[in-house]
Structure 1
Amino acid sequence: MTRRAPLPGAAELFRQTTPPVVPDTRPKVSRGGSPRQKHDTKITVYVSDEELLALEHARLSLRAKHGLGVDRGRVVREAIAVLLADLEEYGEDSMLVRRLRQESGQ
């Protein structure tokens, strides 16, 4: 009887640990949100209880329906990236301009 601990084989040590890369065939947005990383700049944004609940619901929906485990900050950064790309492309007709005008009663 040996007292040596069993060690994993080479196949276990050198197995692929990341999923294979699947090419994305959807059109790319020119301005992208930043992925999960350490950020150097911070802003504080105040939201209503309803907005925070909607944000959390969206985050949970992304996880449950689409398999995307992201935090609220990532959802917010992506939403900002999409709105800024839309503003850059459509200017006066962008969703952001229309919504801000509607909100201010113009």
Structure 2
Amino acid sequence: MASRRVRLPGADEIFRPTAPKPPGKAAAPAAAPATAPTAAPVPTQTALPVPAPAAVPVAAPVAGRRPTGRQRHDSKITVYVSAGELLDLERLRLTLRAEHALSVDRGRIVREAVAAILADFEVRGERSTLVRRLRDGEG
């Protein structure tokens, strides 16, 4: 009789190394997990109001400040967002796909946003959108 026990993937099947590989060494592709991971509860937080696009001009990225786009990324960060922020991000992704024929993932949208806000900060400094929003959020 076969075991009815569910086989769970091992750590080496779930996690892949994020350190850069030495030249000439290809990373072995990570195997897909046998089961879908369970979503962890998302901490709640109050989102800052987002101004209309015309109200806050963002400078075009300066030389060297382009997002990386579709490539393998070796560094990773974890960002916690509220359920509403995640829903807004997913709606944006679907709108980009439906109305602009841009099939991008959430990571690409976030990398584009980071590149834009860094470029704006480099150009405008104290008057940048980032500094204004962070100051407005204090208190």
AA at the equivalent of 1:48: S
Aligned length: 79
RMSD of aligned residue pairs (Cα, Å): 1.3
Determine which of 55, 58, 61 is the counterpart of 1:29: 61
Match of 1:67 among 84, 97, 101: 101
> Which of 79, 85, 91 in structure 1 is aligned with 2:125?
91
For 1:8, the equivalent position in structure 2 comes to none
2:113 to 79, 83, 106: 79
Q: What TM-score comes out, normalization by structure 1 length?
A: 0.71
- Residue 59 of structure 1: how far off its partner (Å): 0.5
- Kindly state the Cα deviation for residue 37 of structure 1 after the two structures are TM-superposed: 1.0
Question: Distance between the aligned counterparts of 1:28 and 1:47, measured in 2?
Answer: 26
Segments of structure 2 that go 5 or more residues without pairing to the other structure are 1-58
Contact 2:69–2:108 (8 Å) recurs in 1: yes
Partner SS for 1:83? helix
String of CA shifts for 1:26-64, please: whole Å, max 9, x gaps: x95221111111100000000000100010011011101
- Structure 1, unmatched stretches of 5+, are 1-26
The alpha carbon displacement at 1:95 in A equals: 0.2
* Structure (1 or 2) with the larger CA radius of gyration: 1
State the identity %. Answer: 61
CA–CA separation in structure 1 for the residues paired with 2:123 and 2:109: 21
Q: Deviations over 1:49-91 (max 9, x none)?
A: 0100010011011101110000000000000000000000000
Mapped partners of 1:28, 1:51: distance in 2: 24
Letter of the aligned partner of 2:116 in structure 1? V
Q: Which has the higher helix share?
A: 1
Q: Is the 8 A contact 2:60 2:119 kept in 1?
A: no
Q: Residue type of the partner of 2:88?
A: A
